[in-house]
Amino acid sequence: MDIGLFTQTALTAVTLGLMYALIAIGLTLIFGVMRIVQYAHGELYMLGAYALYYATTQLGIPYWFSVILSAAALFVVGAVLQVVLFRPLIGKNMLYSLAVSMGLIFIISSGGLLMFGTVVRGIPSPFDGGITMLGALLTYERLTISLISGALIIGLWQFLAHTKMGMSLRAVSEDAEVASLQGVNTKRTHWIAFGLGSALAAIAGCLMGTLLSIVPTMGFGATMKAFMIVIMGGLGSIPGALIGAMILGVIDSFGTTLLNADIAYIIGFSVIFITLVIRPTGLFGQRWDG
């Protein structure tokens, strides 16, 4: 492997990892606070991408403002979903919320096919060009997506560590009952966490939708990746989601380039299995069943 190919593969691994992380942190945030696996997370990612598509191409709204609008809209959608569908299931068997989120997958993706049609669409990118280093190219588009992903992850981390709302979220994720006794409004915390997780999915959908192309069925693949990452990193752990995403990015990039895409998939799942055998809670997870 020459230096150019190695650098290109490594750059792809890092950018892929950061993009995966952006999808996964929303999922892990929702689990951490509410103890539910939001399987329809990828569908919100898809809705975010379509919101950007219609805002930019149909309404002519500038790209970055459209991204913000998409995130805000999906924040509201997520909050409403939590209040209407998931709040009544708090404290009940996890299978109930599993059934609801699985149902949401079909409702949102089928609804998407009806509303948006079956045609694959592309979102014009606001970026052009890139920088070359050691014989490898990093486009400004991928660089920007990576920087935004990194900034959002760090921002979320800081938000959880240093703000009152962030501390409330952490308190609820540690023990909702005790947090409630300490005066934390758990209901409010829940819908904010759900909304925030959904907004992050929307931003991921916007950024990756520009990079790739969008179709109403795109959510399932995103959920699969995010779920793999979250399981490997540890359910509810943001550092775990970041590390898990980077590992998967490295496996996908180097595995595909050196071997092939199917073997990369096999390696990815094998690493998850090995991780869970050695550390059943994932890399940074804690026990949720005790």
Partner 1 sequence: MVGKINDRPLLQGISRRRFLTGASVGLAAPALSTLGSKALAQEKEVLIGGAVPLSGPVAYWGISTMQGWVDGAAVINAAGGIKVGNDTYKLKVVSYDTKGTVADSRAATLRLVEQDGAKYVFSQAAASTIGMLQVTEPAEVVSIVACWGYLDQFGKDFPFHFRAEMSDYEQGFAYMPFIQERYGKDALKTACFIGPDDKDGTDCHFSYERLMKYYDVNSKGVEYFNWEDTDFYPIVTKTIQNKPDFIVTSPTPPGITASIVKAARELGFKGPIVSPAASETETILQVAGEQADEVILPVTCVDPVTDYQKQLRERFMQHFGSFNALGGNYSWWVYALAKAFEAAGTVDDTKAVAAALQEVVLEDTYVGKVAWKGEKSFGIKRQAVYDCYTTVVEKGKARLGDVRYPALPDDY
Which CB sits closer to partner 1, 19 or 272?
19
Q: Which residues contact 41 (CB under 8 A, 6 or more apart)?
A: 23, 26, 27, 30, 197, 198, 201, 219, 222, 223, 226
Give the contact letters, 111-130, x = binds to partner 1 (CB under 8 A), - = no: --x----xxxxxxxx----x
Q: 136: part of which helix (H) or strand (E)?
A: strand 136-139
Give the contact letters, 13-52, x = binds to partner 1 (CB under 8 A), - = no: --xx--x---------------------------------
103 is an interface residue for partner 1 by CB under 8 A: no
Which CB sits closer to partner 1, 5 or 102?
5
CA angle at 222 for the pair 219 and 224, rounded to the nearest 5°: 110
212 is an interface residue for partner 1 by CB under 8 A: yes
**Minimum CB separation from partner 1 for residue 171, in Å?**
35
The stretch among 174-182, 188-196, 230-238, 257-265 that binds partner 1 (CB under 8 A) is 257-265
Alpha carbon of 277 to those of 36, 215, 248, 249: distances in Å? 23, 36, 18, 21
Alpha carbon of 258 to those of 3, 49, 268: distances in Å? 14, 31, 14
Which CB sits closer to partner 1, 222 or 235?
222
260 is an interface residue for partner 1 by CB under 8 A: yes
Angle formed by the axes of helices 186-211 and 164-174, nearest 10°: 100
Binding site for partner 1 (CB under 8 A): 5, 8-9, 12, 15-16, 19, 110, 113, 118-125, 130, 137, 139, 208, 211-215, 217, 220-222, 224-225, 252-253, 255-258, 260-262, 264-265
